[in-house]
Each structure stands twice: as structure tokens, then as C-alpha cells.
Amino acid sequence: MHISEGVLSGTVLGAGAAVAIGCTALGLKKLDDQKMVHTAILASAFFVASLIHVNIGPVSVHLILNGVVGLLLGLAAFPAILTALALQSVFFQYGGLTALGVNTLIMAVPAVAVHYLCRPLLGRSSQLNFVAGFLAGTLSIMGACLLLGAALWFTDEQFMATSVAIITGHVPVMIIEGLITGFCVSFLMRVYPEILPKKVMLT
């Protein structure tokens, strides 16, 4: 789900970069020494998950895990995702440096959104922990697909067919991401609650 160099218009690239810089600055303010370690771990998971690609019809899809990153980090998901995307661009030519801002927004905005939508469910019961994770994983991919489609559409309305193909191709990923995120969150609530937002940590 990376947008490559030369696809988007200069206006979209510039706006994306400006917003990404501002959001990343806010995310960095949320980091403390303990959260820095958690951010590095989750950024690494995001980096590795995106390296495994599967072709579904005309599009190539892969696990993303931005839902679990956002659910556990909140605004700190912006610097985590930006770092992982920058490394992918430099080492593997996924996306491009000029599109880094837009790609960061596509991944991080839904991640932060599910943090605030799903976090209230955490800590109430094991079933709701799984539901929170499932919703975070599913909705974050759906949001990323919609933002990617919007970025393409604002560049050229003829990209609408491409946007629809991308969203359709990622429907299985939405479900798989939801299940994986649900199990991950449920597991972490049992064995390592310190990585979870402090307001919902079990006592």
C-alpha cells in the first residue's frame, strides 16, 4: 500500500509532507524513556510485516499492523510509522522519499483514530480486549485504503478505478489484520500490560 515516486501531484505531496511533519512533532512530544522502547518494538513489527507481499488479483497486499501500533502508542504512532516507512523506502524502494509524508498519513492517521475509538474497550474483559484489537486492525486498514484512494483521486480523478481495486483487494487483509491484532492485544493484556496505554492497564 505504498505510493511510489512520481504518482501524486506536487500539491498532494506538499500538503501530505506538511501535515505529517506537524503530526510527527506532536507524537515525539508524547514519547518518554519507557515509551521509546515500546515505540521501537512496534516500529520494528510494522517494518517486518510490510515485507511479506501476496498478490491478490491486480494488486499486491501485505500485512501492515498499523492498527496495533496505533492502539498501543496513540500519537506516538506517527514517528514510529514514519521511521519504518523511511527505512523501507531507502533499503527496499517501497514507496519513495518524496511520497513519505503522504504514505505516513495513510498509515498513521487511521492508526491514531483507532487508538481513541477502541482504547475505551480495553481492560474490561478478555472478550472486549479481543474485540478492541479486531476493530483496531480492521478499521485501520479500511481507513488506510480510503486515504490512499483519496490521495490518488485528488491527484487525478481517473485513478478512481485503481482506488476501488486497492480497497477490494485489501478486504481479506482487513479481516486477517483484525484477527491478528485481536489475538496480539489479548495476549499482551495477560502477559505484558505495561506496553498498553496507562489509563487501561490492569491492576
Which parts of the chain are beta strand (E)? 53-56, 59-62
Residue boundaries of the structural domains of the chain: 10-200
> What is the distance between the alpha carbons of residues 172 and 122, in angstroms, rounded to a whole number?
25
Is 50 exceeded by the pLDDT of residue 35?
Answer: yes
pLDDT in tens, 110-122: 999 999 999 888 8
Provide the mean pLDDT of the chain: 84
CB neighbours of residue 168 within 10 Å: 14
pLDDT at 150: 87
pLDDT at 203: 35
> What CATH number labels 10-200?
1.10.1760.20
- Which residues lie closer than 8 Å to 130 by C-beta, 6 or more apart? 182, 183, 185, 186
- Which residues lie closer than 8 Å to 149 by C-beta, 6 or more apart? 159, 160, 163, 164, 166, 167
Q: Measuring CA to CA, which residue among 89, 67, 87, 86 is closest to residue 77?
A: 67
Question: Mean per-residue pLDDT for 47-60?
Answer: 68
The single residue listed with the C-alpha cell 505504498 is: 2
> What is the distance between the alpha carbons of residues 89 and 104, in angstroms, rounded to a whole number?
12
| Contact assessment for residue 130 and residue 67, using Cβ atoms and an 8 Å cutoff | no
> What is the distance between the alpha carbons of residues 71 and 91, in angstroms, rounded to a whole number?
27
pLDDT in tens, 61-84: 677 889 999 998 999 999 999 999
Q: Which residue has the higher pLDDT, 51 or 78?
A: 78
Question: Mean per-residue pLDDT for 142-166?
Answer: 82
> What is the distance between the alpha carbons of residues 133 and 118, in angstroms, rounded to a whole number?
8
